[in-house]
Amino acid sequence: MKEFENIKKDFPIFTREVNSKKLTYLDSGATAQKPQSVIDAMNDVYTNKNANVHRGTYVLSAETTKLYEDVRIKCKNFLNAYHSDEIIFTKGATEGFNFLANSIAKKYLKPGDEILLTEIEHHANIIPWQMVAKQYQLEIKYIAIDEDFSVDMEDLKRKISNKTKIVSITGESNLSGLLPNVKLIRELVKETCDAIFILDGAQLVPHRKVDVQDLGIDFIVFSGHKLLGPTGIGVVWGKLDLLNELEPVSGGGDMIEEVYFDRATWAPVPHKFEAGTPPYVEAIGLGAAIDYLENITMEKVSNHSDQLRKYGQEIFSDIDKVNVIHTNEEFAGCTFSMHVDNIHATDVSLMLDTYGVAVRAGHHCVQPFHRKLGIDATFRATAYIYNDKDDLDVFKDALVSSIEMLG
């Protein structure tokens, strides 16, 4: 991890203290901090180029439009997509799932069709499907997670059928760090049916090289703010032939070709799915974040995460009263969700904050899985490229002290 030693200097937030302590930020699963290059890229637009994109006949609009559309190319290369027109900008991953659920259900699904999820899905990959299931009389099934917090492949085989029309699963669990074997799951699905395969990449894309062609998936959804980029921007990638068949779910300016008093025709993909003024400054910030990660290389990013995870497993395994929800798979995300006997997770996180340690407490938008485990809440430490072993040591020491004080 030597090459990551000085990376904090690129992130201005790490110059501040919290409660008179050096900031130890371990909440990147909720949102990542931003390097100066991302802040500068957005500030440059607002300071020097700000103008609405598309159809502007003047220099500022042309400059900003080019920067904005260039981000599609960056995303295309980042994901190894087939074409930059397959990149749809959204407000975030949640909006992406709502778009896909509504558009796909309207086009392809009929009463009695089945949607297959897993028990560890984020609410953003559950609730939109629940909403369309109610509207279109669909059934949702959930693939079980075994005692090792891994996907139960035998349960998958039992639940997949020719009624399965949608399979939508996480690429990385935000609770246990599990990295499901997406290619294997995809192959098992293909043996039985031709379901549309969707991947939740919100946690995966910031930490691993994702090749959508190699994975053989149909769609992936991710958000910019977990990827060192700003809030308010996300991406849906989908195969162009599927996108061409889908109808927009939001209407307004910029997604039209022709409008009459009684009808309208849509702009080509990707613009037919991007109604109104897009979050162009946020998209440009996302492009700068991708540049930052590509300069490091995603291989080094994932190696750094793997090394930190192994170290965390070593030092957290023997803390008295602490229970860690973490998969034992060889490769997983650097995510440690924990609960302490007889102490609420919120109390632990509040006490950790007095040491300058930022972790998140709650159900982390995976409430059904917490309920299955019989746990009300956990506190979660998630590391990223700007974290190191010292941060995990600080967290462990603060956790031990907090438990002593609370318990």
Residue ranges of the chain that CATH labels 3.90.1150.10: 297-406
How many helices (H) does the chain have, and how many strands (E)?
A: 13, 17
- Averaged pLDDT in 10-residue chunks for the chain of 407 residues: 82 97 98 98 98 92 97 98 98 98 97 98 98 98 93 97 98 97 96 97 98 98 98 98 97 95 96 97 98 98 97 93 89 96 96 98 96 95 98 98 93
- pLDDT value, residue 147: 87
Residue 99 to residue 95: CA distance in whole angstroms: 6
Q: For the domain 40-295, what is the CATH code?
A: 3.40.640.10
- pLDDT value, residue 253: 93
Task: For 240-260, give one letter per residue: b (16+ CB within 10 A) or e.
Answer: eebbeebebbbeeebbbeeee
75 is catalytic: no
Is the pTM higher than 0.75? The answer reads yes
Q: Is 30 helix (H, G, I), strand (E, B) or coil?
A: coil
Residue ranges of the chain that CATH labels 3.40.640.10: 40-295
CATH 1.10.460.10 fits 297-406, yes or no: no
- pLDDT value, residue 109: 97
The CB density around residue 79, as the number of other CB atoms within 10 Å, is 23
CA angle 156, 157, 163 (to 5 degrees): 90
Residue 104 to residue 165: CA distance in whole angstroms: 10
Q: Is 88 helix (H, G, I), strand (E, B) or coil?
A: strand
